[in-house]
Structure 1
Amino acid sequence: MKGRRIGLLETHAHENFLADLAQIAHAAGYEVTLFTGETVASRLRQRLDTVAYEWIIKDDDESLGRFLGRVSDRCQALDLLYLFPLYGSVPDFFRYARFSPSCKIVLSIYNANSWVGQNLRFTPKLYNYARLPLRQILLRNVDAVTVEYDPIQQYLNDLLPIPVNTMTPVFSRRTTHSRPADGPLRVTVPGNVVASRRRYDLLFDALEALPTERRDRLSVDLLGRPMDESSDRILRQAARYRKRGWQLTTHEGWIDGDEFEQTISESDILLSPLCRRKAHGIATEVYGQTKSSGVLGDSIRTATPLAVPEWFTVPNQFGDGAVSFADSRELAALFDLLADRGDRLRIARRGAAETADYYALDAQAERFRSLVEEVCEDHLNQSVVDQR
């Protein structure tokens, strides 16, 4: 392991995951090169010890092909390149499919069906169909795949001929923000406010099921920005509940990372009323089976309990830190129970703290080290075989 050098590539999104995995890789003892775009880099520099990493930045006016050429050149001095999920146009995927650096490659997958061609659907956007064969070419060029949680790994194990590993690109912080011992139950719904991802009707129906005299016991924050026409409908509905006296906060634009983290850290519970399925290109993804949700990472980082629909396959590591509900009436009953600030909330908080301990920085660094060493040792073993 001594002197091992690795690269992390993510050009335009997932800066929270990239920042966390950079720190995990550094804690694991590796020399780390970050390949990213200017916007992501500017945000990361506010959160990372910049001198601890080598930075190779894609200029805003630089073509993807030229940037990947620079990445490939730098990879000659690296042992492993970790690719965050790849997105882009069909020409972008042509470039990714031709991308073949000399080091080992690990690819992180967030939408499993879109990569393995399962649960396909019709879409009139024909260019989406061209991405699947290009993704499958790319899969043949990588040495291993990672997913965020065990249920997705179990799903992919029989569908891919290469190793599938679990690597959650998050580590927990022991937050300095204090959670209130009394007052209204603080419920936060993190994530962009869009109807294609979350069923906000479950939340509003749960509020409707609660007696009006209970509204002072609950405070709800839709912690995300509006993204499309469905967002406007959701925010208008939230405004109507506000007028009726409910404590319901919404946001109009981008939420600063520090504000986002602080709000979650001060929450009593994170609510994610997920849609069970989500269209993604030519495939349909199933939350908890082929696709995860960012709320799990939010829960880990801040040791905050979470509430998800009962059909969602929660990873075993979350234990009592995750509670579930079947419908809006069960969600209303859950709000009422947790608002008592009794044993049920204490159990959930203790479970969330145990989950956070599992995902502590040193533990995550050891998991990442095991992944890197396994992939690189396979490379060394294969080199010996080839020489024979």
Structure 2
Amino acid sequence: MKTGIFEMEHFEGAYPVIQLFDMPGSQLVIFTDADTYQRFADLFKQHMDRFQWEVLDNTRGKWRFFNQLYKAAKKHRLDIFYLNTISDNHLFYAWVIGLLRIARVVITVHDINCMFKSSWSWRIRPLFHHMGKKAIIKRVKEFNVVSDTMVDYLRETTGRQKLVHNIPGAVFESEQVSLTIADHIHLVVPGSLDKKRRDYHQVFALLKAAEAKQLPLHITLLGGYMDEYGKAIIEQARSLSLKYTRVTVYDTRLVHQDEFDKQLNAAHFVFIPSVIDTAICFSIPEVYGLTKSSGNMFDVIKHARPFITPQALCISATLGSSCYRYTSIDQLTEFLQELFQKKKEYVSWQQRALANSKEYTIAKVRSRNPTLFAAG
């Protein structure tokens, strides 16, 4: 079986998809661009030659790019075409899908309402997006969501007329780095500094509360910035006058993969101060955990770390026992202070995190998705 996997944005989410389809008797062709190819190289390292690569040129106009994509996909005579991210140019993708006439096309939906609940607009760009999404929905029979908390909502949204898969954004493939709490607690907030995804006011409020209680807390904001908001968060962190706590930031647009992994492996907890209600796509409302999933959940799985989220965030039941859920910053501060006083209790948090991540091994994810990985 020959499978094509397309990804030019969420390389970290396509990484486990490639691993899952990499089975005996399967041939994999990865369609990407030059920048994302380099990020894949950071992840796969010496194993890049296990797959065929089609590195597409997206710098010379849309028509040229999509014609290139069509020709590259057609020559490989794919059995499955798995498009892991489509965030723009939906009409062009629908055109390519229609021309290819591949037996099975699967699209990962990162924002369910954005894809299925767009509406007619008199403005050209939103109108083209709407028309493109409708064309994709008409032509594609299989969709994937990265969190099991999104499956029922997508099934209901599609009227149960589409086949829905649940391929997570990470698999667990290595040993957990075992930590102990000594002279401080380290929380890591992974991801770019984006106000539509994470509430950094909660981060600064936690630092203030911990400082007032003389709690030695270290928070790492593990992500780069893309706009003035991100720069402002970095400046705010640097301006803090702290004695008992500290905060680490990265004044860069991109944190290198090796550093990203290093910091997550050194985190006592992954801290996910997620916004709940957001609107990233043409002001179409989404709900994190229900219609949209946080990529931070997959950092938790990959690195087998216990984590902290707001109580209102819907998370997978599989991960629940290694998650501390808070309703206020005061409550979270009290939890961390008590844990620092009873350091040995952290061992059980780590054990539960490892047990939960082991539910996301390659073998177990394949077994839960037999319609995609029957041969595995």
The alignment's TM-score, normalised by the length of structure 1, stands at: 0.86
Q: What's the counterpart of residue 294 of structure 2? A: 293
- 1:294-373, aligned counterparts within 5 Å? 294-340=295-341, 342=343, 344-368=345-369, 370-372=370-372
Question: Structure 1: how far apart are the matches of 2:356 and 2:68?
Answer: 38
Q: 1:95 aligns with which of 86, 92, 102?
A: 92
1:97–1:138 Cα contact (<8 Å) kept: yes
Q: Secondary structure at the match of 1:291?
A: coil
Q: Secondary structure at the match of 1:214?
A: coil
Q: What's the counterpart of residue 137 of structure 1? A: 135
Displacement after TM superposition at 1:367 (Å): 3.8
2:178–2:350 Cα contact (<8 Å) kept: no
Deviates most, 338-347 or 161-170: 338-347
Displacement after TM superposition at 1:351 (Å): 1.8
Question: Structure 1: how far apart are the matches of 2:236 and 2:81?
Answer: 46
1:72–1:102 Cα contact (<8 Å) kept: no
Q: Secondary structure at the match of 2:286?
A: strand
Question: Structure 1: how far apart are the matches of 2:122 and 2:285?
Answer: 15
Q: Secondary structure at the match of 1:157?
A: helix
Cα deviation 1:295-326 (Å, max 9, x = unaligned): 10000000001111101111111031111111
Q: What's the counterpart of residue 22 of structure 1? A: 18
Question: Structure 1: how far apart are the matches of 2:299 and 2:243?
Answer: 30
- 1:1-388, aligned counterparts within 5 Å? 4-10=1-7, 12-27=8-23, 30-48=26-44, 49-62=47-60, 63-75=64-76, 77-88=77-88, 92-99=89-96, 100=98, 101-103=100-102, 104-117=104-117, 127-160=125-158, 161-175=161-175, 177-210=177-210, 212=212, 214-215=214-215, 217-253=216-252, 254-282=254-282, 283-340=284-341, 342=343, 344-368=345-369, 370-372=370-372
Q: For residue 57 of structure 1, what is the amino acid of its counterpart? A: V
1:309–1:325 Cα contact (<8 Å) kept: yes
**Identical residues among aligned pairs (%):** 20
Change (3 A) 1:213 1:153: closer
Change (3 A) 1:339 1:241: farther
Change (3 A) 1:173 1:218: farther
Cα deviation 1:142-199 (Å, max 9, x = unaligned): 1210101122111111111211121113111334644244221110000111222211
Question: Structure 2: how far apart are the matches of 1:156 and 1:249?
Answer: 38
Q: For residue 249 of structure 2, what is the amino acid of its counterpart? A: T
Q: For residue 183 of structure 1, what is the amino acid of its counterpart? A: D
2:211–2:244 Cα contact (<8 Å) kept: no
Q: Secondary structure at the match of 2:22?
A: helix
Cα deviation 1:181-237 (Å, max 9, x = unaligned): 42211100001112222111112222222354524x211101111222222332222
Displacement after TM superposition at 1:82 (Å): 0.6
Aligned residues: 363
2:150–2:291 Cα contact (<8 Å) kept: yes
Change (3 A) 1:316 1:29: farther
Q: For residue 192 of structure 1, what is the amino acid of its counterpart? A: S
1:207–1:332 Cα contact (<8 Å) kept: no
Q: For residue 137 of structure 1, what is the amino acid of its counterpart? A: A
Question: Structure 2: how far apart are the matches of 1:28 and 1:343?
Answer: 44
Q: What's the counterpart of residue 385 of structure 1? A: none
Q: Secondary structure at the match of 2:240?
A: helix
Q: For residue 307 of structure 1, what is the amino acid of its counterpart? A: I
Deviates most, 194-203 or 259-268: 194-203
Q: For residue 290 of structure 1, what is the amino acid of its counterpart? A: T
Unaligned runs of 5+ in 2: none
Spell out structure 1 runs of 4+ moving beyond 4 A.
Answer: 122-126, 242-245
Change (3 A) 1:74 1:327: farther
Question: Structure 1: how far apart are the matches of 2:137 and 2:9?
Answer: 21
Change (3 A) 1:184 1:166: same
